[in-house]
Amino acid sequence: MPDASHTVPRHLDVAIVGGGLAGLYAIHRLRRLGLRVRAYEAGSGVGGTWFWNRYPGARCDVESLEYSYSFDAELQQDWKWPERYGTQPEILKYVNHVADRFDLRRDVQLDTRVKSALFDSKANEWVIKTDTGEEIRARYCVMAAGNLSTPRVPDFRGLQGFNGKWYHSGLWPHEGVDFSDLRVGVIGTGSSGVQMIPIIAEQAKHLTVFQRTANFSLPARNVPMPAEKERAHKAQYPARRAAAMETPFAIGGYPKPTRSALEVDKAERDAAYESKWQEGGSISYLYAYTDLLVNKASNDTASEFVRNKIRAIVKDPRTAELLAPKNHPIGTKRLCLDTNYYETYNRPNVALVDVRSDPIDRITETGLELESGTAFELDAIVFATGFDAMTGALNEIDVATSGGAVLRQHWEGGPLTYLGLMVAGFPNMFIVTGPGSPGVKTQMIASIEQHVDWIADAIDHLGRHQLDRIEPTPQAESEWVSHVNQVADSTLYPLANSWYMGANIPGKPRVFMPYVGGFDRYKRHCDAVAAQGYQGFTLSRHETVAA
Ligand code: N01
């Protein structure tokens, strides 16, 4: 690691934290304004999520023709996605192609973790320090550090003494892992667990899955990209992208539902669910009726349909019942997509263990032990236990101001933002797809582009009006947080203990973090705020003192 502790600070217009999909687009977009920008990335390569999450079976659960950048017409025409849903290696290849094609690499500094960001009010600059000892001074700071980028291994006793190897889905070794002939334990059955379990089961001598919460999963129905589908999609790409902007999930191609699930009889409903089940994909299923995420009785019909599918697929009735989720409505935890997930439990080398009724007590030298004393011999343990979502990455950085504000303290009771884009008391710091934004509930790249475009327009607006400081008013922030909560409370989302609520991290405040009013509504609101002269923000000019 270079020791740059004695080098002079680097001066930028915009410092970007993160070199994933958001950081890269921010470089591209902000450079076009003529700004000096640079992104700081902890990994040794670009790609963020897709750089780190290399576990077996890692694949996007949004179709690739949608889950891709829209900002360049030629890029989206040229790139050929080989399958309906991109695998991690394919998506990482795509991100690297984008970095080269738009000459972004020269402004990404790899192997550099941002440790602190202090707003120097007098100089009107963010002072950023890295683990390489560098100091960067920038007028604006864009936090593009990701929502699911702080992997979390539960605090089990004994892990350090485990004789086998252990892994976390989000920190997977680049050289891959060979589980042949091993007794493997996977802890966690969220999106990552559901994707890796069928593949590890094929390799391992024996696989034990430790499940705390059964999750709903639908078949992805991945296929090689049908040539005609690709041709038709690309022929209408701009219109399809525009149509996606008018949907709650920023994903186009699904007919808008018009009826409540309770307006039709059971036979018709089940036929609709069956057709969605055969089609594959989560949005399609949740879009079957207008009210699946807001009306518990409607949701029950969709939940029970999937539970019955699980009962039909899994041969052992006790295992099937354990896998059939009963403690949350379908869609209120992230709905998983899988390939042969439930079928995997019919394999003779796979066992499911319920760690809700009998939690994991400790990791032993040779495996793990439950509170009841039941022990499992394991050669490898995989933690598919998720992330300190949405706030983890920012809270790991010491974000503060010279006036004494500290972000961790400001967010002690849960994250507070205005539009998910800025925080009161922290001027000139923007967040991409942060808490209070719909990002994680949408096609993420669409949200990234919308957020970064909004941020770029705001910075441009300031420059054109000889202004150099923007921050939300405390009132606008508090009203937005109330609105986010009200919208969440009008849905079924709060009924689940999900990472949306911070529920997976012991001690984290239980606050519903994403905005679930829909991407379409959110975008219109952001546009209106900007059109009304950045309503809810204070824009000002500061006589700056040279550092
Ligand atoms: O993490 P998760 P993930 N003892 O938090 C369990 C995105 N993503 O990495 O539900 C036992 O969803 C925990 O149990 P519970 C996507 O947005 C996308 O799978 O808290 N178990 C849960 O089962 C996704 O939602 C893609 O009771 C423990 C699991 O670990 C997000 O990333 C693929 C435990 C964690 O599930 C996170 O997904 C992968 C403990 N002490 C990820 N602690 C695609 O695009 C936790 N668990 C397809």
Question: Residue 4: what pLDDT?
Answer: 46
Q: pLDDT band at 253, cuts 50/70/90?
A: confident
Q: How many CB atoms lie within 10 A of CB 494?
A: 18
Q: Is 190 in the pocket of ligand 1 (CB under 6 A)?
A: yes
The predicted structure's pLDDT at residue 18: 98
Mean pLDDT of 74-79: 98
425 backbone φψ class: left, alpha, beta (φ>0; ψ -120 to 50) = left
> What's the CA-to-centroid distance between 246 and ligand 1, angstroms?
29
169 alpha carbon – ligand 1 mean position (Å) = 10
Ligand 1, atom 9, lies closest to the CA of: 386
**What spacing in Å lies between the alpha carbon of 334 and ligand 1's midpoint?**
9
Q: Is 380 in the pocket of ligand 1 (CB under 6 A)?
A: no
Q: Which atom from ligand 1 is nearest to the alpha carbon of 170? A: 9
pLDDT tens digit sequence for 426-456 = 999 999 999 999 999 999 999 999 999 999 9
Least confident of 97-101, 187-191, 251-255, 396-400: 251-255
- Dig out the tokens for 22 from the structure: 């958001």
Q: Which residue has the tokens 């022990």?
A: 375
- Residue 149 Cβ contacting ligand 1 at under 6 Å: no
Using CA positions, which residue lies closest to atom 35 of ligand 1?
Answer: 385
Nearest CA to ligand 1 atom 10: 213
pLDDT digits (tens, 9 = 90+) for 198-208: 999 999 999 99
Separation of CA 390 and ligand 1 centre (Å): 13
d(CA 14, ligand 1 centre) in Å = 33
Q: Which of 85, 221, 369, 385 gets mutated to test ligand 1 (max ligand atoms within 8 A of its CB)?
A: 385
Higher pLDDT, 449 or 1: 449
SS3 content of the chain, % helix, strand, coil (to 5): 35, 20, 45
Q: In 103-199, which ranges are E strands?
A: 108-109, 114-120, 125-130, 135-143, 165-168, 183-187
pLDDT in tens, 384-412: 999 999 999 999 999 999 999 999 999 99
DSSP state of 151: B
Per-residue confidence (pLDDT) for residue 255, from 0 to 100: 87
Q: Which long-range contacts (CB under 8 A, 24 or more apart) does 416-419 make?
A: 416/477, 416/478, 416/481, 417/472, 417/477, 417/480, 417/481, 418/472, 418/473, 418/476, 418/477, 418/480, 418/536, 418/537, 419/472, 419/480, 419/522, 419/525, 419/526, 419/529, 419/536
Q: Is the CB of 187 under 6 A from ligand 1?
A: yes
pLDDT tens by residue, 20-70: 999 999 999 999 999 999 999 999 999 999 999 999 999 999 999 999 999
Indicate if ligand 1 lies below 6 Å from the C-beta of 439: no
Ligand 1 site, residue 63, Cβ cutoff 6 A: no
Percent of the chain whose predicted confidence (pLDDT) is above 90: 96
Share of the chain above pLDDT 70, in %: 98
Average pLDDT over residues 494-504: 94
Question: Could you give the 3-state DSSP secondary structure of residue 129?
Answer: strand
Indicate which residue's Cα is closest to atom 36 of ligand 1: 190
Whether residue 428 has its Cβ less than 6 Å from ligand 1: no
Q: Residue 1 above 60 pLDDT?
A: no
Answer whether residue 544 shows pLDDT above 90. Answer: no
Question: CB–CB of 308/190 below 8 Å?
Answer: no
pLDDT of residue 7: 66
The response to whether residue 193 sits with its C-beta less than 6 Å from ligand 1 reads yes
Query: What does the pLDDT average to over 270-276?
Result: 98
The pLDDT value given to residue 3:
47
pLDDT in the model for residue 9 = 82
